[in-house]
Amino acid sequence: MTKLREADRTTKPIEVTFTPCDLVHKDGDVPILKTLGFHELTRHQTEEFDRVGRELNERVEGLFQEYGISRINDELQDFHNLALAVAIERLSDTRIKDAPDLIELLFPLYGVFLGKNGPDVVAYKLLILQLMKNQELFRIEKRPYKHKPSNPLALLRLLADADAVKSKWSRRRHSDREIARHLEKEPQWAGMNWKTLRNWFTAAHKLFKRDERRSECPEN
């Protein structure tokens, strides 16, 4: 069994939440898609993918120091050397240390597609991630749903609940303060006063710049 490095024990897993495009409102559900529209949800999902990609890339870069690999200003050779070092450690019962060319055989074994020109930087990064995917350093967990203003899902839920309330009221425009006073009595927002909810509305409007033109989720 491979011994975990110190970084593997201390690095927190990447928390992520992806919002699917087929989050269609049904009776009894929070109408999130109706609230923001398909394009807004897609933007949020894309931002999540980008954020996770950046964090994974930063952690891969940190492995050069962990494995004592010196950079030579040749990206392809740098990541080849790093992938080889990771493979030697993770696959210690193989002959790859004595026959480094065997690393070429790992790409199909780990589901990494190679182009017609052979391994490139992206392929080596993907191989490294596959070799280390069970380690704490690269673990990705679904972000727990928590009622806090830094959680986009909580803000989505707030806007959706606000739309649900407004749909039952008259057509006149209602302020965030009025809606917050109503929502503080609802079970899902129990324990939160209207002033806090009003501040959350500010954060939600800032995070999700809402388009008046609603879009439908495309049919499969």
User: Greater confidence, 28 or 193?
Assistant: 193
| 64 contacts: CB under 8 Å, gap ≥ 6 | 70, 71, 78, 82
Interval 161-183 mean pLDDT: 79
Helices within the chain (DSSP H only): 6-10, 32-36, 38-66, 75-90, 106-109, 121-131, 152-168, 176-183, 194-207
Q: Does residue 20 have a pLDDT over 60?
A: no
pLDDT band at 34 (very low <50, low <70, confident <90, very high): low
Q: Where are the domains of the chain?
A: 6-25+33-142, 152-207
- Report pLDDT for 121: 94
Interval 133-158 mean pLDDT: 69
- Report pLDDT for 67: 93
pLDDT band at 25 (very low <50, low <70, confident <90, very high): very low
pLDDT band at 38 (very low <50, low <70, confident <90, very high): low
